[in-house]
Structure 1
Amino acid sequence: MPTSLRNTGGAALRPAFPLARSALNAGCLCALAAALPALAQSTPPAALPPVVITGNPLGSDSLATPASVLTGPGLVLRRASSLGETLSGLPGVSSSWFGPNANRPVIRGQDGERIRVLGNGGATLDASALSFDHAVPIEPLVVERLEVLRGPAALLYGGSAIGGVVNAIDNRIPKSPLEGHAGALELRGGGAARERSTSALLEAGTGTGGTAGRGFVLHADAFKRRTDDLRVPDFDRPVESGGSERRDRIVNSASDAEGGALGGSMVWGQGYLGASVDTYRNDYGIVAEEDVLIRMQRDKLALAGEWRELGGAIRTVRARLQATDYEHEEVEGTGEVGTTFGNKGEDGRIELEHAPVGGLKGVFGLQGESAKFEALGEEAFVPNTETRQWALFIHEELALAGASRLSFGGRVERSRIESSGDADSAEPKFGAAQDRRFTAISAALGGVWDLAGSLGDGWQATGNLAYTERAPASYELYANGVHLATSAFERGDADLDLERGGNLDVALEWKSGARRLRAGAFVSRFSNYIALLRSGEADFVSDEGDSFPVYAFEGVKARLQGIELEGAWRAIDDAKGSLDLEAQLDALRADNRSTGEPLPRIAPLRLRLGAAYSLAGWTLRGDVVRAQRQSRVPADDERTPAYTLLNLALSKQLTVGFSDALLFVRLDNATDELAFNAGSIATVRELAPLPGRSLSAGLRMSF
């Protein structure tokens, strides 16, 4: 473990909510899912229905927008130290892979501001979209359900959901009544980073159970995770002096994370009203620099409620309000803080479901968000900014014959993005204070068609046509400085216009018990796509004499198109056990139509084949993942070689006393193949291969 992590691992946080922190310290001591039998949810009273929650305010059985869900044993077996690595490998989903700690999800080749990462439907208000080395402050250990929407979901969640949505769902604000108590404990160890982690939650209720039950429910959870430098197959790591050195670890990739939450709700038959306070802390090394540590902390207070069956014109009201205080310090090897990033803000939304009008059902609502961002230090490449947004949205569904239906809606979003300019006029860097205002309009039309009459039971077709607009992010407008994570001088453009694009997504799907098939295709065309591109001007030379290529944000024409195929088949199902076979393929082509070059950091064609045999609670699973060579790269990037990974897992469901348990052992990258992620930025890709062969084990118990 790097010295910097050892020295700061126990450093005290500066809480945004001191009383809440004191309360926490006192109170807090599908590929795989399809192959495993059902297991009780980690928190039984909060068991979620088998429908997608995100982007589905009316609780429909299926969506026009393609979605993936991880929960139960499938989520337990996929958990990793970052959100991006946990989700990577789902259809159309990869990760930015800045080593094992800083990984944002990448959906259909889009990341950063085009992917909306949510916690229980609320904004994370962090700094992860600003830079690849900034982690998402969501801990997979305490998440009970992960949902991914692929394609535009901007109507309900904002212009930054133009590429997709990831929603991490927990039960920190309970929504269901509980008699007595329930809880869960999870222990994990091993792996390529020698992970040592534990998480626990406990819930207690004072009321009666059942759908009409009422009473107060209290929730508490806590987690702790530590990792060492990630072990990888032997590779040649470039060094600053030129040449390379042979390594079998990713330098400076250890981490130390912990956190917890307290929450409670008053629950009754027609709704709930509750609050939670949670804290997250993560100290982790920056793989691009051998002696730099990020010391991150995030505190959040959330209020949420729902009231159903109101009668009259408005049937249901749902609301959520959050206050977030995020900060991270970039600590040099000497112990000095080089740069500090902070983001403080509030976000809230209210949804109102109206009474049906004929066959028409729908919701409309208001969403607002305000955030003050600060970057302090010599290496800050963006000024202090303040962003305020509010939006009106509507989503409607019209029932057709059988299970078919149409959905349509729109969103109007108003944004104001202000730059404070130079803090010291004697050292000009960002210019005078300025602000930009934008009005973005998005609309979508989708449909789900039941094809049972023409193709047979279980067949359906889906389609979604969307037009989306996104206001530029603050750094896309105002950046002006050396960005060490990308080893480039980045320059924003305060005159940027709205990002505009259209998307068409179609799919044909069949389901019958444990068997399913899905074939989908999509195309997105942008008339103005905000990209960070090499400017062509001379390199920038710093005061220390270091040279950095100059990149600038500019609007270009772009096209992204691809296919996604999924299938699962139960080949055997008898007294001798069950055998499930799975296959998945996705392919994406992304082009800068203004220059004729490919867009950067695009995942190659990927194929996954899996098989799982289950008998008497035991499940043995094998997966082969093949990623083709990525040769379609812009001139300033490098090609990424193909690779094939073999992963094995053995799990057992059992009962221990009054608890249900899942015991598992995993062998990842069994052949110890050297592999690189095409989605990583070029300057880090050669420093951070994917994990090598590793053995890990874990136990999750729920009661």
Structure 2
Amino acid sequence: MIRRPLANAALARRTLVPLSMLLLTTLARAQSDTTPPALAHPVSDTDLAPVFVTDNPLGSGTLFSPTSSLYGDALITRRADSIGETLNGLPGVSTTTYGPMVGRPIIRGMDGDRIRLLQNGVASYDASTLSYDHAVPEDMLSVERVEIVRGPAALLYGGNAIGGVVNTIDNRIPREGIKGVSGQVDVSYGDTNNARAGAAMVESGTGQFNFHVDAFDRETSKLRIPGFAHSDRQRAADEPDADEPYGSIPNSDGRWHGGAVGTSYTWADGYAGISYNGYEANYGSVAEDDVRLRMHQDHVAASSEIRNLSGPFRQLKFDFGYTDYEHKEIDNGVTGTMFRNHGYEARIEARHKRIDPLDGATGVQFSQNTFSALGDEALVPTSQTTNIALFGLEEWDMTDAIKLSLGARYEHVKIDPTAGGNEKFADAMSRDFNAGSVSAGATFKLNTAWSVVGNVAYTERAPIYYELFSNGPHDATGQYLIGNQNAQKEKAVSMDLSLRFASGPNKGSAGVFYNCFRHYLTEFNTGRLVDDDDQPVPAGTDDALNEAVYRGVRAEFYGVELDGTYRVFESGAQRLDVEMVANYTHARNIDTGGALPRISPLHTTLALDYAYGPYGARAEMVHAWAQHRVPEDDLPTGSYTTLGLTLTYKFHAGAPNWLAYIRGQNLTNQEVRYASSVVRDIAPQGGRSVMVGLLTVF
């Protein structure tokens, strides 16, 4: 089973990468006789918010979907050890956790294969959707902007964006001309897990030929916590002689590092470029003291854009990514399981000439990846997934106050399993799915400040390989998982409605959403306790697993999202803003009325943000209510309130600009257990922490 993926990877490198480079070269030559204009001094993203690109291929200022973005100083001071924890608490966003190193974003109660994680608009393959203990191979030190689309984004990015999209954006392929040499260095230290982190980036160019190099490194020790690792309820269920860790979480340390190189050619009406980035990680499993996970990823990307074309299309955009990912789970120094995932994804978007009052774009997306799990936890067969899709989006300016949006997508998904001699998967058969999505949106401006925005969408998601073919132990969740080879497409009707306000520094949004699913694929415990070979064992047996099967049910998600910023004081160089975010999601199985698992409770954030010239201060209070609506076999979580304080100072020392920051979290040292965490009863969040950092830009 190993030789075939390696052969496929080599074939992909020999064919797809040269083809993408040929396309990029052709696009560049098409405009190579255009002389770029003189470049102005670059504007920092802390000074001007960039155009939102993830849900806006037309480049207009109107956004129909509920969106959020994080960049500049806010991203620098918010960064955590995982992408999920970095984004946790933004409107509609929570996170999975499996210790401090592992966290994948949850949007409106949906996670896994329903949330699409992208790098610069295309997939970067890993194994994070398969298991909660698998980290996302990306460090926030290398990211300059994150964009989040809440609600269905399947129209643009496929069925597995049925819950939303998180797109991380960097400048590894420079999209604008660079003259001279610039760069930055960022170092930080956090005391709660002795976290040492650093990153450096250098960019240079002639105005047409541009180069980018970056590197990052992060190392942590065990995470310090305010009390017992196991919750009160869990300790009551533990054996009398069980070891009860106190003050820190065993095996919660780790290290990851990586870097990238990239280059591009830019001209007045576009760019073309290519980049490579690598990622290495070694971290512990907080559920198994002797298990380490070692992860490696190589990612090659190519991108190009041409603007101001003649003919029917005025803009073309091409993005391509190839990923080779591997991680090993090592138990007491012996590799027990190896996961591999390699493949490519490409997108071509063409924006047509404006046909008043219509403005629109069409596109094609195609991808193929091969996933394999070898060893003790080979719970799925080697599976190749191929996806081909067509999509289109049109916007119609009915009046100055009313704008409409209509789009559609059709995709074909094929999943081919290979047993590779493993009898457990001998009956696995190929599945084909045709999935369609349509959406409509409208925005109505009540006046210059207020608007009402509504969306309705019908989306379909094809089952992923593990929902179809699982047949093996899954120690991360304490289950023996059994897939459903006859699973149908997941179908959903989604609606959201929001009232938005924007006037100078004051802005806000109050929205409601509703999603109704047919054949929502979720895990159901059969009530049997089994061993690693799916044989029944009596209660109390060491390492017994709960047998669980994937089943399609009717389900609904609905909730409320509030966020806003109001400037209460401004005088000269001083300003004071009040910020508020509140999220609530209710999710249930319609057939039984029971709660769906790992749903965050009502969650609110209240913050005061003060600035006086180069000085900044932010005080933040977060309160989460208790979550008692849990499935029968889950334990509830308690409420908590945390306090945080961030101080910043910007200054000049010679030519470089500097930013010094200090961030305190959970200053009252509360016990925090996320309802969205599968290990919430054995691994809480960190206690009181202080992080200090220094960023220089030259």
Assess same fold via TM > 0.5: yes
Looking at structure 1, the residues matched to 47 and 308 of structure 2 have their Cα atoms a distance apart, in angstroms, of 21
Q: In the TM superposition, what whole-angstrom CA distance separates every residue of 1:320-362 from its partner, at most 9, and x where no partner exists?
A: 11111000001112x1111000001011010011111121011
Q: In the TM superposition, what whole-angstrom CA distance separates every residue of 1:13-68 from its partner, at most 9, and x where no partner exists?
A: x9x999x9xxxxxxxxxxxxxxxxxxx99995999853311010011213110000
1:666-685 map, 5 Å: 666-681=663-678, 684-685=679-680
The residue number in structure 2 matching 1:624 is: 621
Amino acid corresponding to residue 571 of structure 1 in structure 2: V
The residue number in structure 1 matching 2:257 is: 258
Q: Aligned to 1:291, what secondary structure does the other structure show?
A: strand
Amino acid corresponding to residue 276 of structure 1 in structure 2: S
Judge conservation of contact 2:226–2:687 (CA < 8 Å) in 1: yes
Identity, % of aligned pairs?
Answer: 42
The residue number in structure 2 matching 1:343 is: 341
The residue number in structure 1 matching 2:694 is: 699
1:232 aligns with 2:225: yes
Judge conservation of contact 2:104–2:135 (CA < 8 Å) in 1: yes
**Residue of 432, 444, 448 corresponding to 1:437:** 432
**Residue of 542, 559, 564 corresponding to 2:556:** 559
Deviates more, 1:428-437 or 1:376-385: 428-437
**Residue of 543, 546, 549 corresponding to 1:549:** 546
> Are the structure 2 counterparts of residues 541 and 260 from structure 1 closer, same or farther at C-alpha, using a change threshold of 3 Å?
closer
Looking at structure 2, the residues matched to 109 and 303 of structure 1 have their Cα atoms a distance apart, in angstroms, of 33
> Are the structure 2 counterparts of residues 43 and 517 from structure 1 closer, same or farther at C-alpha, using a change threshold of 3 Å?
closer
**Residue of 466, 473, 479 corresponding to 1:482:** 473
Judge conservation of contact 1:491–1:552 (CA < 8 Å) in 2: yes
Looking at structure 1, the residues matched to 371 and 245 of structure 2 have their Cα atoms a distance apart, in angstroms, of 40
Looking at structure 2, the residues matched to 611 and 244 of structure 1 have their Cα atoms a distance apart, in angstroms, of 42
Tell me by how many angstroms 1:400 deviates. Answer: 2.4
Looking at structure 2, the residues matched to 41 and 297 of structure 1 have their Cα atoms a distance apart, in angstroms, of 38
Judge conservation of contact 1:44–1:182 (CA < 8 Å) in 2: no
Judge conservation of contact 1:42–1:184 (CA < 8 Å) in 2: no
> Are the structure 2 counterparts of residues 122 and 145 from structure 1 closer, same or farther at C-alpha, using a change threshold of 3 Å?
same
Deviates more, 1:245-254 or 1:516-525: 245-254
Q: Aligned to 1:429, what secondary structure does the other structure show?
A: helix
Q: Aligned to 1:533, what secondary structure does the other structure show?
A: strand
Amino acid corresponding to residue 154 of structure 1 in structure 2: A
> Are the structure 2 counterparts of residues 672 and 478 from structure 1 closer, same or farther at C-alpha, using a change threshold of 3 Å?
same
Tell me by how many angstroms 1:575 deviates. Answer: 3.5
Looking at structure 2, the residues matched to 632 and 503 of structure 1 have their Cα atoms a distance apart, in angstroms, of 23
Judge conservation of contact 2:177–2:209 (CA < 8 Å) in 1: yes
Judge conservation of contact 1:41–1:47 (CA < 8 Å) in 2: no
Tell me by how many angstroms 1:449 deviates. Answer: 1.5
Q: Aligned to 1:86, what secondary structure does the other structure show?
A: helix
Judge conservation of contact 1:116–1:161 (CA < 8 Å) in 2: yes
User: Could you state the TM-score of these two structures normalised by the residue count of structure 2?
Assistant: 0.90
1:100 aligns with 2:81: no
Amino acid corresponding to residue 426 of structure 2 in structure 1: G
Looking at structure 1, the residues matched to 239 and 652 of structure 2 have their Cα atoms a distance apart, in angstroms, of 54
Tell me by how many angstroms 1:512 deviates. Answer: 1.1
> Are the structure 2 counterparts of residues 285 and 48 from structure 1 closer, same or farther at C-alpha, using a change threshold of 3 Å?
farther
The residue number in structure 2 matching 1:287 is: 286
Tell me by how many angstroms 1:498 deviates. Answer: 0.1
1:267 aligns with 2:266: yes
Amino acid corresponding to residue 235 of structure 1 in structure 2: F
1:687 aligns with 2:682: yes
Tell me by how many angstroms 1:282 deviates. Answer: 0.9
The residue number in structure 1 matching 2:33 is: none
Q: Aligned to 2:75, what secondary structure does the other structure show?
A: helix
The residue number in structure 2 matching 1:590 is: 587
1:366 aligns with 2:357: no
Looking at structure 2, the residues matched to 603 and 550 of structure 1 have their Cα atoms a distance apart, in angstroms, of 25
Amino acid corresponding to residue 633 of structure 2 in structure 1: D
1:52-131 map, 5 Å: 52-131=52-131
Q: Aligned to 2:353, what secondary structure does the other structure show?
A: strand
1:579 aligns with 2:576: yes
Amino acid corresponding to residue 590 of structure 1 in structure 2: A
Looking at structure 1, the residues matched to 153 and 640 of structure 2 have their Cα atoms a distance apart, in angstroms, of 32
Judge conservation of contact 1:46–1:171 (CA < 8 Å) in 2: no
The residue number in structure 1 matching 2:495 is: 504
Tell me by how many angstroms 1:535 deviates. Answer: 2.2
Amino acid corresponding to residue 614 of structure 1 in structure 2: A
Judge conservation of contact 1:391–1:414 (CA < 8 Å) in 2: yes
Judge conservation of contact 2:228–2:247 (CA < 8 Å) in 1: yes
Looking at structure 1, the residues matched to 110 and 593 of structure 2 have their Cα atoms a distance apart, in angstroms, of 18
Amino acid corresponding to residue 518 of structure 2 in structure 1: S
Tell me by how many angstroms 1:621 deviates. Answer: 1.3
Root mean square deviation of aligned Cα: 2.1
**Residue of 605, 610, 627 corresponding to 1:608:** 605
Judge conservation of contact 2:46–2:73 (CA < 8 Å) in 1: no
Q: In the TM superposition, what whole-angstrom CA distance separates every residue of 1:178-203 from its partner, at most 9, and x where no partner exists?
A: 11121111011124111101101111
**Structure 1 regions of 5+ residues with no counterpart?**
1-13, 21-39, 208-214
**Residue of 391, 395, 398 corresponding to 1:397:** 395
**Residue of 205, 209, 212 corresponding to 1:219:** 212
The residue number in structure 1 matching 2:445 is: 450
Judge conservation of contact 1:442–1:469 (CA < 8 Å) in 2: yes
Judge conservation of contact 2:573–2:613 (CA < 8 Å) in 1: no
Amino acid corresponding to residue 90 of structure 2 in structure 1: L
Tell me by how many angstroms 1:420 deviates. Answer: 0.8
**Residue of 636, 641, 644 corresponding to 1:644:** 641
The residue number in structure 2 matching 1:459 is: 450
Amino acid corresponding to residue 173 of structure 2 in structure 1: I
Q: Aligned to 1:73, what secondary structure does the other structure show?
A: helix
> Are the structure 2 counterparts of residues 589 and 42 from structure 1 closer, same or farther at C-alpha, using a change threshold of 3 Å?
farther
Tell me by how many angstroms 1:524 deviates. Answer: 0.3
1:307 aligns with 2:300: no
Looking at structure 2, the residues matched to 43 and 512 of structure 1 have their Cα atoms a distance apart, in angstroms, of 23
Judge conservation of contact 2:174–2:264 (CA < 8 Å) in 1: yes
Amino acid corresponding to residue 334 of structure 2 in structure 1: E
Tell me by how many angstroms 1:537 deviates. Answer: 4.2
> Are the structure 2 counterparts of residues 483 and 156 from structure 1 closer, same or farther at C-alpha, using a change threshold of 3 Å?
same
Q: Aligned to 2:109, what secondary structure does the other structure show?
A: coil
Tell me by how many angstroms 1:242 deviates. Answer: 5.4
> Are the structure 2 counterparts of residues 218 and 240 from structure 1 closer, same or farther at C-alpha, using a change threshold of 3 Å?
farther
> Are the structure 2 counterparts of residues 394 and 240 from structure 1 closer, same or farther at C-alpha, using a change threshold of 3 Å?
farther
Q: In the TM superposition, what whole-angstrom CA distance separates every residue of 1:587-642 from its partner, at most 9, and x where no partner exists?
A: 11001112210110000001111112221211121100000000111101110000
